[in-house]
Amino acid sequence: MKYVIVTGGVLSGLGKGITTSSLGMLLKARGLQVTAVKIDPYLNCDAGTMNPFQHGEVFVLDDGSEVDLDLGNYERFLDANLRTDHNITTGKVYREVIQKERRGDYLGQTVQIIPHITDEIKKEIVSVGERDGLDVVLVELGGTVGDIESMPFLEAVRQLSMDVGRQNCIYIHTTLVPILGVVGEQKTKPTQHSVKELRAVGIKPDVIIARGERPLSKSIKSKISMFCDVPVEGVISAPDAISIYQVPIILEDQGLTDLIIKQFAIGSQEQNLTSWKGFLNNLDNPEGEVNIAIVGKYTHLIDSYISHVEALHHCSSETKNKVNLVWVEAEDLEKGNSTKVFEDVHGILVPGGFGERGTEGKIISAKYARENGKPFFGVCLGFQLATIEFCRNVLGLEGANSSEFDPETKYPVVDLLPEQIGVEDKGATMRLGVHEAMVQEGSKAYELYQSNRIKERHRHRFEINPEYIERIEEAGLKYTGRSLDGRRMEIAELQGHRYFVASQFHPEFKSRPLNPSRLHLGLVRAAIDYRDGKDY
C-alpha cells in the first residue's frame, strides 16, 4: 500500500482538501483503488458538537458519523461512501489511548505522546487502507505546519515512512505564493520558510503545490525547486480556479499524476477523464441562468452550507443552467426587511439548522413560496418549519411551533423524537446517518427518485408530531415519504403547487457531480420552468 501525505504551510484555507480530493479522483481515474483520510488536530472527538461558524458545515456519512466538511469533498470527487475512521481527530486518538491505558493494555509502562499516541495515529491511518485492500491512501493533515496541535501527527506521518518504506510514501506540501501588489512579483519566501519548518520535523517534501492568484512562472518554479530541494517537475501551480472541479485538470496538465505513479512505480491504466470533462463543459457553457435563494442563519460563512452549494452546482451541470445563489440572512426577514429579495429569484431553498435564531425568517420564506407559487425546497429544519408555517397559516393553529424553540407551545407540531427523551449527551446522539424511507408512487419525489425505496442521510432530534399528520394532510400538505414503519415523516409535498417539497433527511450529503441530489434537481428544474413561465 502507498501513502500520499498532504501537509499545509503558510496559512490555513489554502484548499488542501480540494487538492487531496482532486488527486484522489485523478488516481482513481487511472484505475487505482484510492481513498482519503482527514486528520483534524482539534480535541473534539468529532465535528458534531461544533458550530458551523467554526469549521463550516458538519458533514454526515452513511454510518452516521459527523465529520469535517472535507470528507464531503472526498466523497464528491472520489464518488465513494466513506466511514467514520476516515476522519481522525486528536480527541478520538486520545480517547482510544486513554481507554487502552485504563484497560491495562500498557501495563507497567509510562504512556507518552511518542510512541503511544503516534503509534495509535499510524495504526488508524494504516487500518483504513488495509481493510479494503487499497492501492493508495491519501492522508490530509489539517492545520498548518508549526501549529502545536499538529506536532504528534507530523511525527506520526514522519515515522510512517520508516514503517512502510520511504518508497511507499510521497509527501506533498501545499503553500501560498503571494503576489505583492506594488511589484506584481510572485514571492517564494513564505514557501521557503514553510518547507524549512517541515524539514525541521524531519519531513522532506517530494512535491510542492503552490496556491496563488496566477500560475507560477517558469523561473519561480525553478527558484522554489532549488531553495526547497524538490525536483522542478514536483513544483506544481494551483492558481485560483473558477470552479473547484477544474482543479484535477490543472494538476493533471502539469503531470502530477504521472509523477506520483512513476515515483511509486505502480502500474496504471490510461487516464480517462471524459465524463468529468463533460460535467465541466456543461458548467462552462450554460444555456441559461436561474436564481436560487438560500435562506440561512450562517450565510456569512458560505462553507456552512457547502454541500447545498455543491449539490446546486451538480444540478447546474445536469440542467445546463447556471445556478446563481442569492444569500438571504433569515434574521433580516424577521427585522421587517421585505420579501422583495425573493421577487427576482426562481426558487427558494431553506436548509437545516439548530436553535431558534432565524427560524421566523425561514417561516416567512416558506409562506412566501407557498402563497406565490414559487418553487421551494426545505431540508431538515426547513422541512419542520414548512410544516409549522402550514399549521399556523392554513390550519389556523396559532403559535404552532417546534418544542425545540417553544417548549410551552400549545401546538407542538414538531416534537422531540421519542427515543431522544432522557438523552443528555450532545455528542453523536441525534438520529444520524442513512435510514431507508418509502416514497409514494405518483408523488414528485417518486418521479425524481424513480423508486419507492430511498436511502438518505439524517441528522435531527425532532420530527413531525404524529398527532397532527391527519389534519395536515387533509389540508393539502402530504407526507409522500415515510420511514419503513410508516411512523416517521420523511418528505412533504404541497398539493397543487409547482414544487413545494421538503425532506427531513439531507439529500445534499449524497449529491455527486455526475449524480446530483434528486430533490435539489427537482427544485432547479422547477425553477427553470417557473422562469420560463411553463405550466405545471
**Please, what is the minimum distance in Å from the beta carbon of residue 503 to ligand GLN?**
11
Q: Which helix (H) or strand (E) holds 383?
A: helix 381-393
**Please, what is the minimum distance in Å from the beta carbon of residue 412 to ligand GLN?**
13
Residue with cell 496504471: 268
Question: Could you say whether residue 459 binds ligand GLN (CB under 6 A)?
Answer: yes
Find the binding residues for ligand GLN in span 262-291 (CB under 6 A). none
Find the binding residues for ligand GLN in span 351-380 (CB under 6 A). 352-354, 380
Q: What's the distance, CA 135 to chain centroid?
A: 24
Our CB check for ligand GLN shows the closer of 205 and 352 to be: 352
Residue type, 468: Y
Question: In sequence order, what are the beta bridge partners of 431?
Answer: 460
Question: Could you say whether residue 308 binds ligand GLN (CB under 6 A)?
Answer: no
37, 140 contact by CB (below 8 A): yes
**Please, what is the minimum distance in Å from the beta carbon of residue 308 to ligand GLN?**
12
Find the binding residues for ligand GLN in span 92-151 (CB under 6 A). none
Find the binding residues for ligand GLN in span 392-431 (CB under 6 A). 404
Question: How is the chain split among helix, strand and coil, in percent rounded to 5?
Answer: 45, 25, 35
- Active-site position among 116, 458, 497, 506: 506
Which parts of 283-366 are beta strand (E)? 288-296, 321-329, 347-350
Question: Could you say whether residue 381 binds ligand GLN (CB under 6 A)?
Answer: yes
Our CB check for ligand GLN shows the closer of 185 and 467 to be: 467
**Please, what is the minimum distance in Å from the beta carbon of residue 324 to ligand GLN?**
24
Residue nearest to ligand GLN (CB): 352
What's phi and psi for 414, nearest 5 deg? -120, 125
Find the binding residues for ligand GLN in span 494-513 (CB under 6 A). none
Closest to 266 in 3D by CA, of 2, 6, 3, 28? 2
Question: In sequence order, what are the beta bridge partners of 66?
Answer: 60
Residue 178: asked if its preceding bond is cis (omega within 30°), the reply is no
What is the SS3 assignment for 522? helix
Our CB check for ligand GLN shows the closer of 220 and 414 to be: 414
Question: Could you say whether residue 460 binds ligand GLN (CB under 6 A)?
Answer: yes
- Active-site position among 169, 315, 380, 391: 380
Three-state DSSP string of 151-201: HHHHHHHHHHHHHHCHHHEEEEEEEECCEECCCCEECCHHHHHHHHHHHHC
Residue 506 appears among annotated catalytic residues: yes
**Please, what is the minimum distance in Å from the beta carbon of residue 420 to ligand GLN?**
9
**Please, what is the minimum distance in Å from the beta carbon of residue 351 to ligand GLN?**
7
Q: Which stretch binds ligand GLN (CB under 6 A): 71-79, 118-126, 191-199, 349-357?
A: 349-357
CB atoms within 10 A of CB 63: 15
Closest to 379 in 3D by CA, of 475, 527, 518? 518
Our CB check for ligand GLN shows the closer of 56 and 212 to be: 56
- Paired sense of beta strands 288-296 and 347-350, if any: parallel
Our CB check for ligand GLN shows the closer of 75 and 415 to be: 415
What gap in Å lies between CA 475 and CA 463, rounded to an integer? 19
142, 39 contact by CB (below 8 A): yes
**Please, what is the minimum distance in Å from the beta carbon of residue 381 to ligand GLN?**
3
Residue 508 appears among annotated catalytic residues: yes
Our CB check for ligand GLN shows the closer of 161 and 384 to be: 384
Q: Which stretch binds ligand GLN (CB under 6 A): 126-134, 168-176, 308-316, 456-464?
A: 456-464
Question: In sequence order, what are the beta bridge partners of 73?
Answer: none
Residue with cell 511509486: 264
**Please, what is the minimum distance in Å from the beta carbon of residue 304 to ligand GLN?**
12
Our CB check for ligand GLN shows the closer of 77 and 462 to be: 462
Our CB check for ligand GLN shows the closer of 321 and 384 to be: 384
Question: Could you say whether residue 59 binds ligand GLN (CB under 6 A)?
Answer: no
DSSP letter, residue 216: P
Which residue among 153, 171, 377, 462 contacts ligand GLN (CB under 6 A)? 462
**Please, what is the minimum distance in Å from the beta carbon of residue 230 to ligand GLN?**
44
What gap in Å lies between CA 363 and CA 510, rounded to an integer? 26
Question: Could you say whether residue 461 binds ligand GLN (CB under 6 A)?
Answer: yes
229, 240 contact by CB (below 8 A): no
DSSP letter, residue 453: E
Our CB check for ligand GLN shows the closer of 36 and 413 to be: 413
Find the binding residues for ligand GLN in span 227-246 (CB under 6 A). none
Our CB check for ligand GLN shows the closer of 57 and 96 to be: 57
Find the binding residues for ligand GLN in span 186-215 (CB under 6 A). none
Residue 520 appears among annotated catalytic residues: no
Neighbour-count burial of 418, counting CB atoms closer than 10 A to its CB (0-12 exposed, 13-18 middle, 19+ buried): exposed
What's phi and psi for 129, nearest 5 deg? -75, -35
Q: What angle do CA 88, 89, 92 make, to 5 degrees?
A: 90
- Active-site position among 116, 252, 508, 520: 508
What gap in Å lies between CA 67 and CA 83, rounded to an integer? 10
- Paired sense of beta strands 500-503 and 489-494, if any: antiparallel
Q: Which stretch binds ligand GLN (CB under 6 A): 120-128, 235-243, 350-358, 448-456?
A: 350-358
As a residue count, the chain comes to: 536
Number of residues that bind ligand GLN (CB under 6 A): 10
**Please, what is the minimum distance in Å from the beta carbon of residue 385 to ligand GLN?**
9
Q: Which stretch binds ligand GLN (CB under 6 A): 181-189, 226-234, 348-356, 489-497?
A: 348-356
Catalytic site residues? Answer: 380, 506, 508
The footprint of ligand GLN (CB under 6 A) covers 352-354, 380-381, 404, 459-462
